[in-house]
Amino acid sequence: MRTLITNGTIVTADGSSAADVLVDGETIAAIGAGLAGMVEADETIDAAGRYVIPGGIDVHTHMELPFGGTFAKDTFETGTRAAAFGGTTSIVDFAVQSRGKSLREGLDAWHAKAEGNAVVDYGFHMIMSDVNDDTLREMDTLVEEGVPDFKLFTAYPGVFFSDDGAIFRAMQQTGRNGGLIMMHAENGLAIDVIAADTVAAGVTDPIGHGLARYSVLEGEATNRVIRLAQAAKVPVYIVHLSAREALNAVRMARDEGLPAFAETCPQYLFLSLDDMGNGFEGAKFVCSPPLRSEDHQPELWKGLVKDDLQVVSTDHCPFDFHGQKDLGKGDFRKVPNGLPGVEDRMDLLHDGGVVAGRLSKERWVEITSTAPAKLFGMYPRKGAIAVGSDADLVIYDPNRRRTISAKSHHMDVDYSCYEGRTVQGASDVVMSRGSIVVRNGEFTGRKGAGRFLRRGPADYARMA
C-alpha cells in the first residue's frame, strides 16, 4: 500500500516546510515538493491547510496498573485506541515488578496484557519494587531485551518505595549496562507523616492529598536523586515533575552540566490545587505528585521553553469516579492515585502552548514526540519525518476546535479532568506504520496491530 500525503505543512522539531510525503508499506519512502506528479500511490490524501507531524509519543502511561486495591481502568486496547484518537501513535507503559517477585514475571505479565490488544506500538519501562542481587542482575537482561529504563520511587512507602541505598545500587547498575533510572521524586516518608496529621486534624476530603504532599518535599527528593545519580555518574530522568522547587533542582543540575532530564504532564500545566476542592469531587484530580497552586504553572511553561523540561507525557492512569475513586471516601489516602489523559495531551499542548503563544509549533512536536523518541531509544524510527522512519504520521488541523468531554472521549473512564474545555487543534488522520487507524473521528485500526517497541540506548548514550 502506497499513500501520498499532499499539500500539507510538514512540522518537525527542526523546522516546517511545504512538502508531500510518500508512505510505502510501513515506512516513509520520499519527502519533497510536487511528488504528486512524480509517484504512483494507491491513495492520495490532501492535507491542505493542515500540518503533517510525527505521531505523538507518550512515554508515561499505566494501562491496568494495580493501585490501592484496584486497577487502572484502560486496557492496552482501550488505552491505545484513545491514544490514537488523540494523535499519539506510540506509548511506553510501566511494567510492574511486585514485591518478592522477579522483574521477568512482571515484564511477562505486561507483555501478555499488551500483545494482541494494543492498536498502536508500545514499549515498556520497568517499575522496580525490590532492589537486590537478583533484580540487579535481571536489569542487564532487560536492557538487552529493549526495556532499558527502570522507575524507582522515593514515594509510596510500603508499596513501591526504595531507600537511597537501593536507588544508588540501581543507578550503579545502569552505569554498567547503559540503562536509565527514572525517578518518582517525592519524600514519601515525610508525606505519610503529614498526611496522617492532616487526617487526624479532621481533613479527610481529597483536598488533604494536595495539602499534605508539600512541593518542597518534591524539590528535596528531586535534588537528592539527582545528586545520587551524580555520585553514581549516570543520567537520571525525573518523571511527572509538578513543582517549582523540583524544577529548580533540575535547572541547577543542568546548569552544572549534569545529564538530568525531566518531564511534566498536562495536569500540572492546566489544572491546579483549586480543582481538588469541592468536597469529594476533588477525588477526580487525585494524583501524585498532586496538583499545585496555579503559580507553579508559569515556571513549568518556562521550563519547557528553555529545555529544562524536555518532555510532556501524561502519566495516564485512569480510575472511574464511581466505583474506584470512591474507595477513598472518608480518607483521601485511600483514593487511587492517577488521572486519565492519554487522549488529550497533543490537543491541550497545541491549544495551551502553540495557540496561546507559549511554544512554537516545532517545540510542540519536539516535547510531545521527538525528544521522547531520542531520550528513550526510538529515534529516528519514531519521532521523525524522514525517509526510512516508521510512517507514524498525523494530519493535524490547527484550526479545528473541539470540546473535551467524558461523553465523547474514548478513554474507558467515567469522567474527564477537562470537562467542557474547548481546545483549538485536532487530529484528522492518524497513521500507525503506514496504516490509517483514525480518520475523521472514526476508528479504522485493528486490535492487536500494535507491536512491541524494542528500544535501544538513548541518543545521549550513543553519543557518549
**Using CB under 5 A as the criterion, which residues of the chain lie in contact with Zn ion when the complex forms?**
184, 315
C-alpha span between 428 and 439 (Å, rounded): 6
Footprint (CB under 6 A) of ligand URP, residues 80-99 = none
Residue 421 near residue 356, CB atoms below 8 Å: no
By a kind-dependent CB cut-off of 5 to 8 A, residue 337 interacts, out of Zn ion, ligand URP, none, with: ligand URP
**Any alpha helices (H) in 71-102, and if so which ranges?**
76-85
Taking the complex as a whole, how short is the minimal distance between the CB of residue 274 and ligand URP, in angstroms?
A: 18
Q: Residue 416 interacts with ligand URP (CB under 6 A)?
A: no
Task: Find the angle CA(281)-CA(282)-CA(287) to the nearest 5 degrees.
Answer: 135
- Beta-bridge mates of residue 54: 393
By a kind-dependent CB cut-off of 5 to 8 A, residue 338 interacts, out of ligand URP, Zn ion, none, with: ligand URP
Residue nearest to Zn ion (CB): 184
Q: Residue 267 interacts with ligand URP (CB under 6 A)?
A: no
Return the residue matching grid coordinates 510518500.
22
Which residues are CB-contacts of 324 (< 8 A; sequence separation ≥ 6)? 70, 73, 336
C-alpha span between 245 and 254 (Å, rounded): 14
Q: Residue 317 interacts with ligand URP (CB under 6 A)?
A: yes
Q: How many residues bind ligand URP (CB under 6 A)?
A: 9
**71 vs 443, which CB is nearer to Zn ion?**
71
Candidates 229, 276, 287, 394; binder of ligand URP (CB under 6 A) is: 287
The strand pair at 88-96 and 56-61 is best described as parallel
Taking the complex as a whole, how short is the minimal distance between the CB of residue 240 and ligand URP, in angstroms?
A: 6
By a kind-dependent CB cut-off of 5 to 8 A, residue 304 interacts, out of ligand URP, Zn ion, none, with: none
Footprint (CB under 6 A) of ligand URP, residues 164-203 = 184
Candidates 55, 338, 372, 398; binder of ligand URP (CB under 6 A) is: 338
Q: Residue 282 interacts with ligand URP (CB under 6 A)?
A: no
C-alpha span between 439 and 371 (Å, rounded): 26
Q: Residue 337 interacts with ligand URP (CB under 6 A)?
A: yes
| Complete DSSP assignment for 200-232 | HTT--STHHHHHHS-HHHHHHHHHHHHHHHHHH
C-alpha span between 17 and 220 (Å, rounded): 44
**68 vs 87, which CB is nearer to ligand URP?**
68
**Cα dist from 87 to 2, 376, 391, 448, whole Å:** 21, 19, 13, 18
- The DSSP call for residue 161 is B
Q: Residue 106 interacts with ligand URP (CB under 6 A)?
A: no
Taking the complex as a whole, how short is the minimal distance between the CB of residue 250 and ligand URP, in angstroms?
A: 18
Q: Residue 345 interacts with ligand URP (CB under 6 A)?
A: no
C-alpha span between 381 and 225 (Å, rounded): 31
Residue nearest to ligand URP (CB): 337
**45 vs 95, which CB is nearer to Zn ion?**
95
C-alpha span between 195 and 208 (Å, rounded): 7
Taking the complex as a whole, how short is the minimal distance between the CB of residue 221 and Zn ion, in angstroms?
A: 11
Q: Residue 254 interacts with ligand URP (CB under 6 A)?
A: no
Q: Report residue 416 as a C-alpha cell.
A: 474527564
**339 vs 426, which CB is nearer to ligand URP?**
339
SS3 322: coil
C-alpha span between 261 and 240 (Å, rounded): 11
Which x/- pattern, by CB under 6 A, does the window 48-77 give for ligand URP? --------------x---------------
Residue 21 near residue 393, CB atoms below 8 Å: yes
Taking the complex as a whole, how short is the minimal distance between the CB of residue 400 and ligand URP, in angstroms?
A: 30
Binding residues vs ligand URP (CB under 6 A): 62, 184, 240, 287-288, 315, 317, 337-338
